[in-house]
Amino acid sequence: MTDLAIPEPRPAAVAVQPTAAAVPGKSIADWAHEADLAYQLADRLSTTSFIPSTMRGKVGDITACLLAGNELGLPPMAALKSMDVIHGTPGLRAHAMRALLQSRGHEIELVESSDTVCRMRGRRNGSEAWQEVVWTIARAQLAGFVAKNSNYKSQPTNMLVARATGEICRLVASDALHGVPYTVEELRDSQLQITAVQAGAPVTAAEILSRRGPAPQEIAPADGTDAEATGDTDPVDGEVYDEAAKLWDDILDAADDKHGWSPEQTEREFLNGSMGVPAALAPLETLRAFHAHLTGGAS
C-alpha cells in the first residue's frame, strides 16, 4: 500500500503559510505582478528534472501551478510536488489535499480501506459533527471510471482513497480549497470535455442532460409497431425539459447557497457524479437526485 492510502496525522511535507494572494483588497495589478514573477520562475525551472514529467517544458502549466499553490498557501516547491495540471485544470494530489485541510485544523480520517471499498470521515475545525463518504469499486464502475482508467484494476485501493479524499475534503472545508477543489486523480478520471460557457450565458438544462445521459426516449406505439416505420418519432413532450430547466435553476441556487459553488463548478460536480448520484439514472431522475443531495431532502 502506498502513502496515498495512509492517513497522515499532521504531515509537515505540505506547509501552509499566509500569502499575499489572500490579503483582502489585493489589487489586480499586484496579482498581475505576481503572475509575471511566477512566469519567470516557471521559465527557469521548466526544463529541470525537479519538474514533474507531466509539466516539464510547459511554462504555462507550471505558472498556473505556482499561482494556484500560492493561493492555497503552498510555497513554490511544495506546490510543484503537490499539484498537477490536467486538461488545463490544476489539481491537488490526494495526500496533499488531506494535508492541506489537516494543516488548517480540520480532521480527515481513513475508517476503512480495501480493494473494494474506502470509507473516510471528516469534520470541520471546531465542529462536533462528522461527515462520512464511501467509495466502492461498484460505484466507480457505475460512474464509468473503471473502464477508462486501468489504475482501478492495478491500484484499486489507492484510487478509491483518492476519490473519497476529494469528496470528503469538499464537504468538510471547500473554502480551504479555493479554486482547486479536485484531486489530480479525480481530474484524470474525468474524460468529459466541458464546453466553455460564455460570460453571461449560463449552461442550459438541455445541454446538461445531453452531456450526462441520452435524450428522453422516444415514445413507442402502444401496439408494439416500429415507431420509425410509422413515422411517429416525436420525443417525449417539452414538459420533460421544462421540468429539467426549473430543476437546474433550483440546483444552481442551492449550490450557491449551501456550497458557494459557481455555475461552472456546479456543472463539474454534477458531471463528475461527485455527490454520489449514479450516472446510470435517466437524465431527469439524475437532476432530481442531484438536487436532493444538494438540499439534503427530496426535490
Q: How confident is the model at residue 106 (pLDDT cuts 50, 70, 90)?
A: very high
Measure the CA–CA gap between 274 and 255, rounded to whole angstroms: 13
Question: If you average pLDDT over residues 248-265, what whole number do you get?
Answer: 78
Question: If you average pLDDT over residues 269-294, what whole number do you get?
Answer: 64
Measure the CA–CA gap between 176 and 97, rounded to whole angstroms: 10
Measure the CA–CA gap between 35 and 276, rounded to whole angstroms: 37
Instruction: Decide: helix, strand or coil at residue 17.
Output: coil
On the question of pLDDT at 67 being above 80, the answer is yes
Res 199: pLDDT: 34
Res 89: pLDDT: 82
Contacts of 242 (CB under 8 A, 6+ apart): none
Contacts of 155 (CB under 8 A, 6+ apart): 2
pTM: 0.56
Res 226: pLDDT: 44
**What are the sequence ranges of the domains in the chain?**
20-86, 96-189, 205-295
CB 244 within 8 A of CB 238: no
Q: How confident is the model at residue 205 (pLDDT cuts 50, 70, 90)?
A: low
pLDDT tens figures, 90-102: 899 999 999 999 9
CB 140 within 8 A of CB 163: yes
pLDDT tens figures, 233-245: 333 345 555 677 7
Res 213: pLDDT: 44
